[in-house]
Structure 1
Amino acid sequence: MAKYNLNWNEEKFKRFLKEGRGQGTGVDYNPWWKINDYPSLGRATRVFSWKSNRIHHFFSDIQTKYFYLLDWQDIVLDIREHFPLIDIDETIKQKEDLNFDMFKDKETGTPYVITTTFLVTIKNNNDSKPQYIARTVKSYTELEKKKTLERMEIEKRYWEYKGIDWGIVTQKEIPAVFAKNVEWVHSSLYSYNERGLTKENIADLSNILKERLLDSSHSIRSITANFDNEFNYEAGTGLFVFKYLIASKQIQIDMNNSIDINTPKPIIGANNQKLKREESAYDCSK
């Protein structure tokens, strides 16, 4: 069992700053909290992102599910998890009624660094400059706690002073089936080399399988199994390519319904190029 040093003090704060925690963007971003820093209340997860090309750290299933929704959207340019509000004292002008003492280490008295679960960079259709939104992800049962409500008020004011849209996301706002479908295909986009496939291989196989999927009335399971047999590939290769086609948006299916590989013709459409993601299916900016 992993051992965690849960004490928070000035020395640890300075070490985090020296390590570049909470700094950078894209592949260079270093989250303030990582899964080896302290035990999670839920299932800790590390996931590679299509957007940032780096590993992301999550402490609950709700955080992970919301990440999948963000990573799916074309409108999203970058995702920064566990973003620290380092300049909180300078940013929040009206704070006399806020109880910051609730967020100090009981042993050392050192203030904790308050973080927002996600700071997301999105495209701005009306401007060439990107737009930012901040989202705090919590279980709705936590919203009943006094300490959580106080923290939410602090975050709310912080982002208001920054001029950045902030909101709370609970499991009630996350379409579970959509998130599960993204999770099912997510790793296929960059892991084809782990199956002994090159970029050229996956492109050729994608074109062949896509044509068969569109022309056949059989189930996905049947089509992909026949694909493996015909080309003498390891069992499951055809299904992997099917996932890749979804992840790369070369085929379009209804992500709001569970993907059933035993059902014939679940495909809505296809294109020789990547299909535009259906942003109406889940709008991360809301």
Structure 2
Amino acid sequence: MAARTGLARKAAEGAKGARWCLGDAYEPHIRVQDVRRSNGKKSRPKYQGRELHLLSDLEVRAFRHFEWEPTVVGIEEQYYLEIEDTVRIAAEAGASHPLVIGTDDPFEMTTDLVIYHQCDRGERRMARSIKYSKDVELGLAETPVERRKVAHRLEKLEIERRYWTERNVNWALLTERELSEERQRNIEWLLSSSLDGARPDGFWQHAADLVCEALVAGDGARVVDLQRELDADGILGEADFTECLRHLCATRQVAFDMEQRFSLLRPVSDFAFAAAPLKLVG
């Protein structure tokens, strides 16, 4: 991958690094097509009107994790770190700054994800580096060459940590141990939910009322038993029941443990209602 010196898509930083999320105007400093190799599949999911450039399966998992959080209002990937600052920080820390291959020129650094979230004091951001544990834990390195590579990555992470600390931004390292693959699958399945707009007006609201009434009355049963009962009585088809419950979960009106795969075989007690009144559009 070539360095983007002179062509860097830099995010303009304000005082102490504060700035608002740029939304669809944001451009990542590294794009999928810039990278020859990556840890797993490279991915470009749609988000807030633009393509995200995620360079590993784990970055996709982390993105889904934060996308699902209700307080998150924006996510920016492959976030450029001001090279003048990273070079200075590396010198202060006694760390080796990444170099452009075959030269003594410093290589521009990035942070995998910068997440903007809404809190009582307004919009704040946090920075997250996403790495597989084998790439950042010396104890997992099996050869001297691997240990040197891990040690160099740890130096880069320390530069990142200090960079964000100077800007009063919370930084942390996430590995696959903190990012559940099952949660990712649930999130992706829920977010792909789409109710059939060809149904008559009020159909889905009525279906939602039926599903919720069944869940309330069916404590102790399995969800699939309620689904089959409504279908057998000619009240609501099995496919419509499933799609309606899926939509209720996707819109956070019904909740379940996202660390376990969504299944109609689960007991009704695994699902909980939101405090707000249930409402579907369509």
Give the alignment's TM-score, normalised by structure 2: 0.73
Shift of 1:114: 1.1
- 8 A Cα contact 2:207 2:236, kept in partner: no
Shift of 1:118: 1.0
The letter of the residue matching 1:173 is E
SS of the residue corresponding to residue 135 of structure 1 reads strand
Q: Report the Cα distance in structure 2 between the residues aligned to 1:32 and 1:260, rounded to whole angstroms.
A: 40
Unaligned runs of 5+ residues in structure 2 are: 13-20, 139-149
Give the alignment's TM-score, normalised by structure 1: 0.72
Residue 77 of structure 1: aligned partner: 73
Q: 2:212 aligns with which of 192, 201, 210?
A: 210
Shift of 1:211: 3.2
Which moved further from structure 2: 69-78 or 132-141?
A: 69-78
Deviations 1:96-154 (A, max 9, x none): 22322x33133x766432111111112232x2x32211010000111131221121122
Q: How does 1:1-286 map to 2 (within 5 A)?
A: 6-8=1-3, 10=5, 14=7, 17=9, 25-38=22-35, 39-49=37-47, 52-85=48-81, 87-90=82-85, 93-96=88-91, 97-100=94-97, 102-106=98-102, 111-125=106-120, 127=121, 129-143=122-136, 144=138, 145-188=150-193, 191-192=194-195, 202-216=204-218, 219-224=222-227, 230=234, 236-265=239-268, 266-273=270-277
The letter of the residue matching 1:66 is A
- 8 A Cα contact 2:4 2:108, kept in partner: no
Q: Report the Cα distance in structure 2 between the residues aligned to 1:119 and 1:244, rounded to whole angstroms.
A: 28
The letter of the residue matching 1:168 is L
Q: Report the Cα distance in structure 1 between the residues aligned to 2:34 and 2:212, rounded to whole angstroms.
A: 44
Q: 1:232 to 1:258 in 2, by over 3 A?
A: closer
Deviations 1:60-81 (A, max 9, x none): 2221222222112122221111
- 8 A Cα contact 2:113 2:127, kept in partner: yes
Shift of 1:41: 2.1
Q: Report the Cα distance in structure 2 between the residues aligned to 1:53 and 1:199, rounded to whole angstroms.
A: 29
Q: 1:273 to 1:232 in 2, by over 3 A?
A: closer
Shift of 1:170: 0.6
Q: Report the Cα distance in structure 1 between the residues aligned to 2:201 and 2:106, rounded to whole angstroms.
A: 49
SS of the residue corresponding to residue 263 of structure 2 reads coil
Q: Report the Cα distance in structure 1 between the residues aligned to 2:44 and 2:227, rounded to whole angstroms.
A: 29
The letter of the residue matching 2:43 is T
Q: Report the Cα distance in structure 2 between the residues aligned to 1:192 and 1:115, rounded to whole angstroms.
A: 39
The letter of the residue matching 2:247 is Y
Residue 3 of structure 1: aligned partner: none
SS of the residue corresponding to residue 252 of structure 2 reads coil
Q: Report the Cα distance in structure 2 between the residues aligned to 1:113 and 1:236, rounded to whole angstroms.
A: 51
Q: Report the Cα distance in structure 2 between the residues aligned to 1:269 and 1:239, rounded to whole angstroms.
A: 16
Q: 1:9 to 1:202 in 2, by over 3 A?
A: same
Q: Report the Cα distance in structure 1 between the residues aligned to 2:262 and 2:124, rounded to whole angstroms.
A: 33
SS of the residue corresponding to residue 53 of structure 2 reads strand
Q: 1:35 to 1:90 in 2, by over 3 A?
A: closer
When Rg is computed on C-alpha atoms for both structures, the one with the higher figure is 2
Deviations 1:191-220 (A, max 9, x none): 446x75699765554344333333346543
Q: Report the Cα distance in structure 2 between the residues aligned to 1:245 and 1:98, rounded to whole angstroms.
A: 50
SS of the residue corresponding to residue 160 of structure 2 reads helix
Q: 1:34 to 1:200 in 2, by over 3 A?
A: farther
